[in-house]
Structure 1
């Protein structure tokens, strides 16, 4: 069995990564004694043959896990006879204490190599590494200090799982401290020490953040200078592009102005709170198959998702409602007959026009000069950190300046950011990037799928 060994920790012939404990040679994980007996005694079974065939070092690995010494000169073939002898003598009935201790040490060392922005380790890994012995019972000798596991301030599910796991271990104390950046779960055998660590977390984290801010001040100045240069170059390029486009138009009657295209976005609310994530905000406006409707794929750094926009609010409401209904119908059809999966309609693609829409005619809405260039919008999105989907549609507006659709000012409610968040955009290309996301990708059904699969 092969693993990603790029960040493993190794010692004394064993390695650990992602909760796995295996031999450094061959990446062999331990098989429990009863299973080994079933596979190799009284005779070799098909399951045992498969293990020997798929893992060249299987026997060496199992003997190493159970601390059974052997001479390579006595090792013949795949080592079946040697393993049978060890099983018959009861040498694989229990794992030596020093190997169980090493397993816990390597797991702790691997957990300590993880960066603060990594997804927190599952609770069972933390309990095994710091608080449980090899027999799965509470072990006060594993660690005598307070263990802290940080989570994002908005985290409820993962931090709750960690607290529940700690509560199940007899004698283990658990407290949560909230700082300016993280909430941290503190665990340990000494109740007073755990409480003190949780109470001091906010001040300790604030001091740490201030030190980091001071250290990075010079770097931030350089970044801002680079961003300013980039914006100036973009403005110059945009001006040249617009000049070339204007010159290339043959007549005013042939000019086709449209919001369709790629836009660079600026949002002070995002730039002030998440400066590192606000350098390349963008959105792509696509013309939908239904007249008067535009689909917008946006990337706002901390959020990514889809907007639907239209000049007419009633048309917008009807389109989004119909898209949701189409998706629910397609899910029902898929459940009833998986063989017809290729025939399912896809929300956000071509749909038959309703009677009211047919009555308005089949021509696409004009987007030129004399019309009001204010569009109503609805949006759904996903938070790019933990991947949480916000399926409840939020409202907003976009107002283009002039008939050229070269720039606009927008206002919308953005999850994690706030209500009435303002942003501006400038068109950099009349051709949008290929549309990758759909309105249905952020539905309540997708939210439930993501929530259920988060820990499975």
Structure 2
């Protein structure tokens, strides 16, 4: 039978008929009582008395088979097969006793003539039913084959053909009369859109010389198949390259859409739409309040499936005293930040030292390809390429998310440069707690970092987390304001405490 998918309108294959008479049934060649076949008298004797067998191994097998077979329906069926009277009201042990007596008296050594006559009569009545069923199956097979032929003929690509029918696909490209035929397809194929990669991998392993390799991101792997392993691997590499470029293009397009909100904010709040400028004379922490969209190459590169179609955000609200609170959503992690102009203030609130000294931060963090933020005209809006970094302390769910990240570009991209060195008077220090968004694991140990606002208007900033849990060290991110009003209220700092961590951990498993 073909395994074509194009049989949605075709009725199911006709079912083999079953004939019932006088408590017996005939299904094909199987003559049974309620589907239970007759067991010979000699074997019944062994099942009823396993210890009488000579070999321990045989005793064990007989005991296991008896344990599997022995129930009320089995005992009743054997009594019926040997035409031994019993009442339907009899319980299991009563039926077992009747069967033991019949076996010991030799009543199960041969099939009674009465039962043989019933079986013969049923076979006579069954023959025309069986012949009719065979004819219906032949007609069904012919119609299905025609539909399979039509469906396969409509396929335009190797991937579509493999999805439609693997057997036909293999015959078309790689086999002749079931034998390997390299002349049919000398060059490797990339099976775009093909889903059942494991089945084709298994098929290819049974064909001498046929190689397979998959390329592209794990969420949408594309299988490549051919005779030359180096050519197959090279094709898979090109598939990965194309997937990476497509992923970056999609990220760029999505970021451009998000940046439109920031440009509207700039035009409305700073007057750039009319050519004016209202830059404040000095930095004021209160101007930091509002809603920002966030760009983080490290996260976007490592978890493209997580951030695809998802806007990273940071909403800054007024905190206690001279502090601010921010609700952040970085895609793979979310939570609360405490912001302050003073590290000492944060240490007094949170405790402990920063996780990385300022000397460990990237020397080129503020060397610029941007025009800066002095008049808000030099905003960098194009999603840049990001370099490869190692994730630190990754949790199980984030490890799985990383496994589904897009295959990296073979050429390491240059680190994006984030603007001219801003004044340190606009530096705001931060501590953050949060949770990873896969399994909800809480991050109770505060991560440290800082944000440098690139102008007194606080419309953009460049941030750095010295060691962002689950991600990497020295994680850079940028913020672009879209509103002076925060849109998300921060969760309480205590919601990410060690007690909350333990409660969430227990809740995930129990």
Q: Which structure has the greater CA radius of gyration?
A: 2
Of structures 1 and 2, the one with the larger relative CO (CA 8 A, separation 6+) is: 2
TM range (shorter): 0.3 to 0.5
TM-score by length of 2: 0.37
